[in-house]
Structure 1
Amino acid sequence: MGNSFGTLFKITTFGESHGKALGVIIDGCPAGLDIDETFIQNELIRRKPGQSKITTQRKENDEFEILSGVFEGKSTGTPISLLIHNTDAKSKDYSHIAEKYRPSHADYTYDTKYGIRDYRGGGRSSARETAARVAAGAVAKLFLKKIGVDVTAYVSQVGTIQAPEYHEMDLSKTEDNIVRCPDPKVAEEMIALIDQTRKNQDTIGGVVTGVIKNTPAGLGEPVFDKLHAELGKAMLSINAVKGFEYGSGFKGVEMYGSEHNDLFYNDEGKVKTKTNHSGGIQGGISNGEDIYFNVAFKPVATIMKDQPSIDKTGDDATVSGKGRHDPCVVPRAVPIVEAMAALVIADFFLINKTSKLSD
């Protein structure tokens, strides 16, 4: 029913925004992996609400507990179950929309599909669900570190304010500011825009750029399960995402083939390309170059202004903005993008092990 993701490294998430807890079951994590609980917790802290003036002020520590699959600090090869309790849900903030459909939310579509909806914070449709993904993605990151793969992301755009290309910045500075943009000057402009948007009782969208370094060549399937297709599916499954592009993306349509082609050369026995318009993926399979992609997030749908809408009976209604919401989702979306990318690469790495006999 769409609650699971992956083939061999597979996750299933559960829980709602205002339920007792959120959680994830990871099936297929190889045995013997060191499970660094401090690392997992730090990843959750990067995503948690209430971390700065430009994020929702809901206060959740997002502390997790391991229920299964880990013994003496190592994965056992059996399903790993992680649980995160909700501690600061204020369901009364949503009683006013119990019978109303909020514009651009999943209220109407959930009601149409299921005939019932949890209106408290959007229930399962809430971005709170992504806490479980980040926990699972942290385990995937631990696995990828063992093979030298580095997965990172950063905020590259807020509104019309754009950062330079990823190779023009020091990505190690991403966590140096609250908007998670590695360019300090651009970050200041982004923060000011988000803060002013919040004061205007409005919201603004943005872009998160993901970069995956040291991916082995040969990951991905050639037809329906192309590597970039799975990355696209992973990113488009994140709340508020409206667009995905990798490599040259839509800018590639402005180029001639003679400009766009990535020419091969031999670098001391290793196949490299002089440019990387392909974004590290050719024919749906990784070629060993950096994989980079952009994920577009819409403005958060809940704004602190009255909006016209309808109720469940079809009558006109007014929806008032209440509760605690992000004026811009992208600063907290960075670890979510990283988590989903890590899950895809970990899954394809294991799948690739089944594709040919060992050398």
Structure 2
Amino acid sequence: MSCSQKQGRSPFPSGNPFRKMLPKGSDLPSRHLALLKEFEEKLADKLRKLMPKGEDDILSLPWMKLSLQLLSQTHDDMNSLITELKLPVCDRDDTWVCLYLDNSANLLDLCNAFISELSRLSQGQLLLQFGLHNLDPTGSINLVKARTSFHSWMQHIGSSNPRVENCSSIILELVKLLVLPKPLNSSKARVLMHALYGVQVQTLFVFGVFTAAFTGSPQTLIDLPVPKANLWAEAFVDLQTSVNQEIRELVSSERNFILKELEAVDSIVKGLCPMLDGAAEGDEALRKSATELQKRAERLSEGLDLLSREVDGFFRIVLSGRDCLLSELRKGIVLSCTMQESKAEPKMVKAIKWMRTSFL
């Protein structure tokens, strides 16, 4: 399935994967080439849409939400391609199946980690709201309780999440899976592998950025050298260069958080806490800071909620893709058994056992 690879700057130690998959002079049927071309053009368009319009877009919650929406669309396109090709999988061409399922298992793990972190960040909103409640001039102001709540929020939000910290190793595993296998006999499988590579690259980029946003570390940012033959290559390289460079600059600025909305709230809270010592009710500066914090906290809360829904939706799409593939595999097994009655029973038993133990 996946190939072993030493950690380094280039994930392609064995050469250009496309030369292996689609060598010069390969005679893929025109229908298959048309399907692949349509898939790649859609992917290029999505990558161009994700190109940030300004520095403030990068690592903002709306931009992260958009990146996951577009990634979900790509995985939907992949599911449709699997269905369109109507591929029976023979014994020799099951490598791409293993690769697809290896990738999807890693993606489910990443989704679970991100959902955990988004939930943790959302829980911190309760501490912010309690602190703001104690600064509400229409109620009973309690500066001591407000200060305690804000300090608790900073401790909570500054703590680490082991599940997110583990995402780095999962990202590296996805990089290893980018090393594509030897040429396949089936033209349908070759098209699927070619398309799957594009899905992998977009997925690895988006989830690497997500991990950097949640950990504050650029460790998962990898400058992938994609072959120029891809219709989406130029759009991807432009996007990767712009986003990775900005994230590295944010990290080098030694901010506590590089997620824009979280950094904005943290900055206000840190400026507000000293004002609570000895402040009097009706203090105008305190009132303005509390008002601004309320606005920023609401923006953060809304962004976290919307992004959580997108992650959950992507999780479901990945599961749907696995179900789609397994359904096509079962069809292929039934067809193979019908054509080879003398060998049907042992092959079917072996195949079903393989699917159950490996993929379900």
Normalising by structure 2, report the TM-score. 0.24
More strand by share: 1
Higher relative contact order (CA 8 A, sep 6+): 2
Normalising by structure 1, report the TM-score. 0.24
More helix by share: 2
